């Protein structure tokens, strides 16, 4: 039911916060919500994906982290007109430029 409500708010482009008192519950809720978003084509499936990052909630990756992001899915919670990415876009990291990664 929580995943269904999350999907409803996501479709309406409304921000949603799901709070859970225990880590085990949080992991299960994240799994079910992610499966629901994949099922409805809002998030790419797990093929080749090793992780999921939300740009608004993640610090700028370090060199070690950035180099391991290939295949990860990144959600842009804000639009970037400079590089042409719309708000709430999901993109998969295909390559990392190791020379420019800080």
Give percent above pLDDT 90 in the chain.
Answer: 8
Q: Tell me the pLDDT tens digit for each residue of 40-83.
A: 877 766 554 445 555 444 444 444 455 566 667 777 778 888 88
Burial class (CB in 10 A: 0-12, 13-18, 19+), 73: buried
DSSP three-state, residue 91: strand
Residue 39 has what pLDDT? 83
Site of tokens 């995943």: 3
Question: Global pTM?
Answer: 0.46
Mean pLDDT of the chain: 74
Quick check: 56 and 85 in contact, CB under 8 A?
Answer: no
N-terminal to C-terminal alpha carbon distance within the chain: 41
Residue 87 has what pLDDT? 84
């Amino acid at each position: 039911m929580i995943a269904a409500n999350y999907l409803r708010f996501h479709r309406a482009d409304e921000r949603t916060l799901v709070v859970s008192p225990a880590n085990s519950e949080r992991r299960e809720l994240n799994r079910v919500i992610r499966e629901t978003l994949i099922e409805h084509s809002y998030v790419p499936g797990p093929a080749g994906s090793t992780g999921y990052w939300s740009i608004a909630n993640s610090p700028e990756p370090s060199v070690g982290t950035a180099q391991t992001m290939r295949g990860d899915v990144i959600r842009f919670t804000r639009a970037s007109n400079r590089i042409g990415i719309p708000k709430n876009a999901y993109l998969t990291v295909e390559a990392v430029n190791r020379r420019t990664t800080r």
